Amino acid sequence: MRVWHAIGRQLGNPQGLAGAIMGRMMRLANDRPTRLAVAAMGVKQGDSILDMGFGPGHAIELIAATARVVHGIDQSDAMLLQASCRNRKAIAEKRVTLATGSFATLPYPNDWFDGILASNVAYFWHDEHAILSEIRRVLKPGGRLCIYVTDAATMKHWRFADGHTHRHIDAGQLTDMLLHAGFDPGHIDVQSVPVTRRINGIVAVAYAKDRMDLQALTRI
């Protein structure tokens, strides 16, 4: 059990040599989820995008092919190294900027991003309300948040992803999370997506309300 728990902890925050190995495994295992999430977000030319929890940097690479500029933040130094190597050309061209930091205190100005991607990281959000508040703060009015998680019904069978290291999330919980965070209830789309024959994922796309709507909400 300790081995599985250690694997789960590394998935949440890869560290050292084991974390570097985990990052390479994540790149392979998460290829389809990453592509599904990036496609769902619908990156446009001219967009400024944030990838929260960029891991080995695959989504950064996909997004940078279209977006004007891509920022990434992750808590793992091991993932910063891998993602930087993978995206060295775009970093040199100043189209990609990567950093380590906390999701609960994002180092970006208000209304900065057209889109935010959070793929395979919501399981580890211990301060969900603070993180979602920060996401709303840095999203432009009408900006979009795209979240990918593996469905709780699939994850409950994975010994490395028990409740000690991973929060299990289903479609209803993800919808409630976005509603409580103040995203526009008329523009929240949560869909189940097949990853493999035995793995189901959930992709959610939610749009931020404009500032007038948010101000009205705070007066209720």
Q: What angle do CA 77, 111, 64 make, to 5 degrees?
A: 50
pTM of the entire predicted model: 0.86
**Per-residue pLDDT tens over the stretch 71-109:** 999 999 998 999 999 999 999 999 999 999 999 999 999
Residue 183 DSSP one-character state = E
Tell me the per-residue pLDDT of 181-214, one tens digit each, with 9 for 90 and over: 999 999 999 999 999 989 999 999 999 987 544 4
Q: DSSP string of 48-105? A: EEEEES-TTSHHHHHHHTTSSEEEEEES-HHHHHHHHHHTHHHHHTTSEEEEE--GGG
